[in-house]
């Protein structure tokens, strides 16, 4: 199994683990969040908190992906594309439950934040970013 493939799989798993753990934090930190979560009747502050959680999850997924993948690998781009592909049908199904700006921001930020995380990884750990042919 190639390191790039492993990087993609781990990045996707990390995204969902980070989002799940962050959602547990939101339940504990935001009054009333757990009560409205099932009905998805979030306040504006809760929607922003959920979007921030998505940003962090995507950033962490990109960091982890770049840490595993060989330098110059397309793994981060593939991970970003897969996340968008996974969430498009989810948000289509939830279209009436959230404002359009929420869907656009969430889905629109997935790929850029994964790629930003991947780009920051060499800077944060001092790994040289040398593209391979």
Compute the average pLDDT of residues 45-54.
98
The one-character DSSP state at 43 is -
Unique residue bearing structure tokens 């493939």: 5
Q: How confident is the model at residue 124 (pLDDT cuts 50, 70, 90)?
A: confident
Average pLDDT of the chain is 94
Whole-number pLDDT of residue 132: 46
Residue 4 has pLDDT above 80, yes or no: yes
Instruction: Report the predicted TM-score, pTM, of the whole model to 2 decimal places.
Output: 0.91
Residue 59 has pLDDT above 80, yes or no: yes
| Ramachandran assignment for 72, one of left (phi > 0), alpha (psi -120 to 50 degrees), beta (any other) | left
Query: Which ranges of the chain would DSSP assign to H, the alpha helix?
Result: 3-29, 33-37, 44-68, 75-93, 100-125
Whole-number pLDDT of residue 128: 58
Whole-number pLDDT of residue 3: 95
Radius of gyration of the chain (CA): 16
Unique residue bearing structure tokens 């781990």: 10
Report helix angle 100-125 to 75-93, nearest 10: 160
């Amino acid at each position: 199994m190639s390191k790039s493939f492993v990087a993609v799989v781990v990045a996707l798993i990390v995204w969902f683990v980070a989002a799940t753990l962050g959602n547990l934090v939101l339940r504990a930190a935001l009054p009333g969040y757990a009560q409205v979560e099932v009905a998805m009747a979030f306040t504006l502050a809760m929607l922003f908190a959920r979007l921030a959680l998505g940003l962090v999850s995507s950033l962490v997924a990109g960091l982890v992906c770049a840490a595993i993948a060989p330098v110059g690998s397309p793994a981060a781009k593939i991970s970003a594309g897969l996340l968008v592909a996974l969430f498009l049908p989810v948000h289509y199904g939830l279209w009436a439950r959230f404002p359009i700006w929420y869907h656009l921001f969430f889905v629109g930020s997935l790929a850029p934040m994964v790629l930003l995380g991947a780009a920051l990884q060499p800077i944060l750990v001092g790994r040289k970013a040398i593209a391979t042919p």
